[in-house]
Structure 1
Amino acid sequence: MNAPYSVSDYSHLVQRDRVHSAIYTDPAIFEQEMARIFHRAWLCVGHEAELPNPGDFRATTLGRQPVVMVRGDDGQVRVFMNRCRHRGMTVCETETGNARFFTCWYHGWVYSNTGPLQDVPGPAGYGADFCKDDLGLTPVPRQASHRGFVFASLAPDGPSLAEHLGPAARYLDIYMDASPLGQIAVTAGVHRTRYRGNWKFVGMDGYHPHYTHRSVLDAWRRRPGGNMADTHHGDPFADESGNLTRDLGNGHVLLDFLPGRSANLDRYLDTLRRQPQGEQYIQAMLDTYGEARGRELLAWAGDPHVGVYPNLQLIGVQIRLVRPLAVDDTEVLMFPGLLQGVPDSINSMRLRQHESFYGPAGAGSPDDAELFERNQEGLKADVEPWLHLGRGLNRERLEADGTRTGLIGDETTQRGQLRGWLRLMSETPA
């Protein structure tokens, strides 16, 4: 069977209400995703709060290329290619830690945590034109930040980070402003999930919880007062709830629970006040942001439920980073963000909520990973390769700012992500 696409034209794979299953199963398409998306677009590397002290680092990848994010002795956070300038060996050998210097254990070249080459064994063996200043660690071609979220791109040119984020930037602010100081700590460790399925399955789907997470929704109904409850019988995923899906452009999408949460804000605040020092937290938010903005941020509860394409999602308390490893192999890293300037009891409550759904023994995330693997298995049956993604298309609204809005169970988010995918896959690499 001939593939309905070429390496230069993927437009036939994404249609108005459906998508060809090859984008989830074809290794050749995955290779092009690495080249055109993960080796060119803005990717979130992490948050500066992961590195509170000079010398703190975390080694990771941009696509397949190894990098290290490090806070230098000068306090600045930088992202370097994790590669010695001599023979190319990685210079950072552990995933996290603290170091003033990175040493290549092949031939002993030493780099400072701010990048310059510090020492070369046997310098007499090099000529007079050898210049250490020219051989420091290589910075990523582009690096920028928004509210401490560190982004990097392997492409030397392209849209600015502000242009890339567009309306999605507001939701990074909402995540940060759950703290009365507007600051977080990312020091509580990480939950990891690795599943045998495609990276594009992860998150931002308001249609599945009634089936995949039915027991969780039943528990919420029996325990009113949480901020995920709404006026429709405690079901935030009901079409009648008032909650929405949003396509923010550039592949960024949102499950917008603010309408339901706002309708139940007073009940939620009563529940929060029953927590140790809950009243103290509420008052700190109102004092910092004012009555209207403070109440809105309390309703959000630090959970914008936003997907910043292609690899960052802010869901619940977590900073979620998606790492594609192969067309059918994906790792997801979930870093809980702790609020600065709040009582310890508030962060303890947020962590317990995170663990109850997303932890290894949680009620939700393990089920998602299981279904992603079943999804990948089912896609092998490709006699009819087209997948229907048309729910809510007939009632989707195009807003004045160019964003699109649907009901909470509509596939507005999936269509938005695929539009972002097609745009990046259709751009010609420089």
Structure 2
Amino acid sequence: MNAPQALSDYAHLVQTDRIHGSIYTDPAIFEQEMARIFHRAWLCLGHEAEIPQPGDFRATTLGRQPVLMVRGDDGQVRVFMNRCRHRGMTLCEDETGNEKFLRCWYHGWVYRNTGELEDVPLANAYGAQFRREDFGLTPVPRMESYRGFVFASLAPTGQSLLEHLGLARRYLDIFLDASPTGEIDVTAGVHRTRYRGNWKFVGMDGYHPHYTHRSVMDSWKRRPGGNMANLHHGDPFSDESGNLTRDAGNGHVLLDMFPSRLAHVDEYLGGIRKRPGGEDYIAAMQEAHGPQRARELLAWAGDPHVGIYPNLQLIGIQIRIIRPLAVDDTEVLMFPALLKDVPPSINEMRLRQHESFYGPAGAGAPDDAEIFERNQQGLGATVEPWVYLARGLERERQDTDGSIIGMPGDETTQRGQLREWKRMMSEA
């Protein structure tokens, strides 16, 4: 195929079975991604459990714009632009903290953690027309929450959050309902990784584990019942596993490993029962959800392995936030989520599973960052610019809920994400 006549022809850059490599390497396309996706779409800022106490805040970004997620003294979580209404200074330089009042260190303007302007030094110099109530912190144009997950958008209008989440809501529920009370604790800290590559590499890819993570896959086979092997019996990425790739629409995709986990749930529960308080955890789940639903949730193990387009992933026990910094520079934040109202041994197990694969000492995640950087380098060879994504295309089918499914190593997930990229980038 020939290259597109103009790289602004975004619809032409994504074909049914291939994409043009420029979407990963062209700075002009990245600028349009920030404008058309990250400054319009619903972006996840995190979970309310990161800021559990009145006055807690987290400074983060919405696309490129600095924002504050803060719990006010009234207990309500709000999202404000991290900018003083006077000269535009950022109010919070620290990423996290607890403040009753937010002070601008440039000229001393002070705001309550609920957003109202509290004090202006020498305010009489502004004249009688100056009204404090007109200069509170600026809220983001739109903010909505789903079970504590905080989403915001810089676009004043658009589809609701529930419309955006669509079928993917189910997988947020699965993540949270691993607790018998549906509550999580996200105060354990954060793992960070930054790689010299494009943000769209961070996807749901069931094709690479046999090669990129071969040593990890071999260890699962050698150590039945041990750590991550408790969740992944045998080879969860083989076509014989019964597992699936799933395109849930709107760019939301997942590696659906529920079939193999359900097939081995009794072995998994056997491991849980051996832990202190394990029987109590299972009993609490059954009481909260009923025997059948509890069995399903325990089989999921709180790991939907889902990507919520464009910047959230729920993998293992982590809430993963993707931050594009440049066309070839990406930061990924990984927040371990502990379960509330469970025996300590359950959260200890979850943390050990997280540490065994993710973070700087993990057995798997550093491989991904290395691969992403090599991928970025390879795309610099542009004699043949097209990237082939046809794996499993001919065997995709529609599931009963309307999602599109394929085999574990099929590129159903990549095609699903890129269809949404194409739609959003093609809108004026």
Q: Verify same fold: TM over 0.5.
A: yes
Shift of 1:284: 1.0
| Distance in 1 (alpha carbons) for counterparts of 2:400 and 2:221 | 36
Question: Which residue does 2:144 correspond to in 1?
Answer: 144
Shift of 1:270: 0.8
* Pairing 1:243–2:246 present: no
Note if contact 1:228-1:236 (Cα within 8 Å) is conserved in structure 2: no
Amino acid at match of 2:116: P
| Distance in 2 (alpha carbons) for counterparts of 1:407 and 1:3 | 30
| Distance in 1 (alpha carbons) for counterparts of 2:205 and 2:327 | 20
* Pairing 1:103–2:103 present: yes
Q: Which of 316-325 and 282-291 deviates more?
A: 282-291
Note if contact 1:5-1:13 (Cα within 8 Å) is conserved in structure 2: no
The one-character-per-residue Cα deviations of 1:167-193 (angstroms, maximum 9, x if unpaired) are 001100000000001000001000000
* Pairing 1:228–2:231 present: yes
* Superposition TM-score, scaled by structure 1 size: 0.97
Matched position secondary structure for 1:224: coil
| Distance in 2 (alpha carbons) for counterparts of 1:250 and 1:334 | 23
Amino acid at match of 1:189: G
Question: Which residue does 2:368 correspond to in 1?
Answer: 368
Aligned pairs for 1:20-419 (under 5 A) are 20-225=20-225, 226-230=229-233, 234-419=234-419
Matched position secondary structure for 2:80: strand
Q: Which of 2-11 and 31-40 deviates more?
A: 2-11
| Distance in 2 (alpha carbons) for counterparts of 1:399 and 1:270 | 32
Q: Which of 392-401 and 194-203 deviates more?
A: 392-401
Matched position secondary structure for 1:152: strand
Note if contact 1:251-1:417 (Cα within 8 Å) is conserved in structure 2: yes
- Count of aligned residue pairs for this structure pair: 424
Matched position secondary structure for 2:193: strand
Note if contact 1:89-1:106 (Cα within 8 Å) is conserved in structure 2: yes
Note if contact 1:5-1:12 (Cα within 8 Å) is conserved in structure 2: no
Note if contact 1:244-1:256 (Cα within 8 Å) is conserved in structure 2: yes
Shift of 1:5: 5.7
Amino acid at match of 1:251: G
Amino acid at match of 2:265: L
Note if contact 1:228-1:257 (Cα within 8 Å) is conserved in structure 2: no
Shift of 1:126: 1.0
| Distance in 1 (alpha carbons) for counterparts of 2:128 and 2:9 | 51
Shift of 1:278: 1.4
Distance 1:382 1:83, change over 3 A: same
The one-character-per-residue Cα deviations of 1:258-282 (angstroms, maximum 9, x if unpaired) are 0000000111111111122211111
Note if contact 2:7-2:13 (Cα within 8 Å) is conserved in structure 1: no
Note if contact 1:249-1:416 (Cα within 8 Å) is conserved in structure 2: yes
Note if contact 2:252-2:308 (Cα within 8 Å) is conserved in structure 1: yes
Note if contact 1:23-1:29 (Cα within 8 Å) is conserved in structure 2: yes
Shift of 1:227: 4.0
Note if contact 1:7-1:32 (Cα within 8 Å) is conserved in structure 2: no
Note if contact 1:227-1:299 (Cα within 8 Å) is conserved in structure 2: no
Shift of 1:155: 0.3
| Distance in 2 (alpha carbons) for counterparts of 1:166 and 1:60 | 26
Shift of 1:324: 0.2
What 5-or-longer segments of structure 1 have no aligned partner? none
What 5-or-longer segments of structure 2 have no aligned partner? none
Matched position secondary structure for 1:408: coil
Distance 1:341 1:68, change over 3 A: same
Amino acid at match of 1:199: W
The one-character-per-residue Cα deviations of 1:81-132 (angstroms, maximum 9, x if unpaired) are 0011111110111100000111111111111100011100101101111011
| Distance in 2 (alpha carbons) for counterparts of 1:380 and 1:286 | 54
| Distance in 1 (alpha carbons) for counterparts of 2:141 and 2:237 | 42
The one-character-per-residue Cα deviations of 1:302-334 (angstroms, maximum 9, x if unpaired) are 000000000000000000000000000000000
Amino acid at match of 1:320: R
The one-character-per-residue Cα deviations of 1:349-376 (angstroms, maximum 9, x if unpaired) are 1001101100211001001001100000
Matched position secondary structure for 2:35: helix
Shift of 1:7: 6.8
Amino acid at match of 1:402: G
| Distance in 1 (alpha carbons) for counterparts of 2:6 and 2:18 | 19
Shift of 1:340: 0.4
* Superposition TM-score, scaled by structure 2 size: 0.97
Amino acid at match of 1:69: M
| Distance in 2 (alpha carbons) for counterparts of 1:169 and 1:213 | 30
Q: Percent identity?
A: 75
The one-character-per-residue Cα deviations of 1:202-231 (angstroms, maximum 9, x if unpaired) are 13100000001111111111121344334x
Amino acid at match of 2:76: Q
Distance 1:327 1:62, change over 3 A: same
Matched position secondary structure for 1:249: coil
Shift of 1:348: 0.8
| Distance in 2 (alpha carbons) for counterparts of 1:356 and 1:386 | 36
Amino acid at match of 1:92: C
Note if contact 1:67-1:79 (Cα within 8 Å) is conserved in structure 2: yes
Aligned pairs for 1:4-23 (under 5 A) are 4=4, 6=6, 9-23=9-23
Amino acid at match of 2:167: P
Shift of 1:414: 0.3
Note if contact 2:246-2:403 (Cα within 8 Å) is conserved in structure 1: yes
C-alpha RMSD of matched pairs (Å): 1.2
